[in-house]
């Protein structure tokens, strides 16, 4: 069964080694550097510093304080360049909407939810992690509630991707026991569907969500 056939049947599919070793190392180090940069700006540049252009700590899906960023230009570029491959893997003609990366630290979780309408075809992509504080066999699965109502744990190695119907399948992660884990969501919509506006309504990639035309 091809990935597209499995995706059509189940509503999700795992793609191993979606990223090359060089790209996943680059993306992981980029995330670490962005977190350090944000921390410095917030701490030393201005005690009241806050900017949609630099991400934020915590959101309604991961409220305990994970650093997150919508529409980062690096991750949006990955989103853009992955579109043709995503078409092949899903059997659909897709438009990219937005990227959203998150740097989870110990104790943080992803609350169970379904995605909004700009995330018809969602992906979660593991970029890198530090689990030095736990058993070497420790994994941090993302859970998907499948079409039969079963909770399916899915383990992703660095560079692996889970593609799933974000608006239809509830998904979540339990609290992280490792030190940290960097991950990015790449979101797409069906070009032939009702919500087919590219880039979440933004005029170009790399813009924060204040420029998006959000849909519930």
Q: pLDDT tens, 111-126?
A: 999 999 999 999 999 9
Give the orientation angle of helix 83-90 with respect to helix 73-81, to 10 degrees: 50
Mind listing the domains of the chain with CATH numbers?
Answer: 3-190 (2.60.120.620)
CA distances from residue 189 to 26, 42, 58, 142, 166 in whole angstroms, order as listed: 27, 35, 25, 21, 10
* Average pLDDT for the chain: 93
3-class state of residue 198 by DSSP: helix
Residue 58 or residue 201, greater confidence: 201
pLDDT band at 62 (very low <50, low <70, confident <90, very high): confident
Over residues 163-193, the pLDDT tens digits come to: 999 999 999 999 999 999 999 999 999 999 9
Contacts of 5 (CB under 8 A, 6+ apart): 91
Q: Are 43 and 57 in contact (CB under 8 A)?
A: no
pLDDT band at 66 (very low <50, low <70, confident <90, very high): confident
């Amino acid at each position: 069964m091809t990935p597209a056939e499995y995706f059509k049947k189940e509503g999700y599919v795992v793609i191993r080694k979606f990223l090359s070793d060089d790209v996943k190392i680059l993306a992981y180090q980029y995330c670490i550097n962005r977190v350090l940069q944000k921390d410095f700006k917030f701490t030393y540049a201005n005690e009241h510093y806050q900017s949609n252009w630099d991400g934020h700590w915590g959101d309604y899906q991961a409220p305990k304080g994970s650093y997150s960023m919508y529409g980062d230009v690096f991750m949006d570029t990955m989103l853009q360049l992955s579109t043709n491959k995503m078409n092949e893997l899903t059997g659909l003609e897709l438009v990219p909407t937005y990227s959203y990366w998150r740097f989870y630290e110990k104790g943080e979780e992803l609350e169970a939810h379904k995605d909004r309408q700009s995330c018809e075809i969602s992906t979660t992509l593991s970029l890198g992690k530090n689990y030095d504080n736990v058993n070497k066999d420790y994994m941090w699965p993302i859970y998907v509630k499948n079409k039969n109502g079963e909770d399916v744990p899915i383990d992703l190695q660095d560079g692996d991707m889970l593609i799933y119907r974000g608006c239809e399948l509830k998904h979540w992660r339990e609290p992280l026991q490792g030190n940290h884990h960097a991950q990015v969501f790449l979101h797409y919509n069906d070009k032939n569907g009702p919500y087919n506006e590219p880039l979440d309504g933004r005029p170009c990639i790399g813009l924060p969500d204040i420029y998006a035309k959000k849909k519930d």
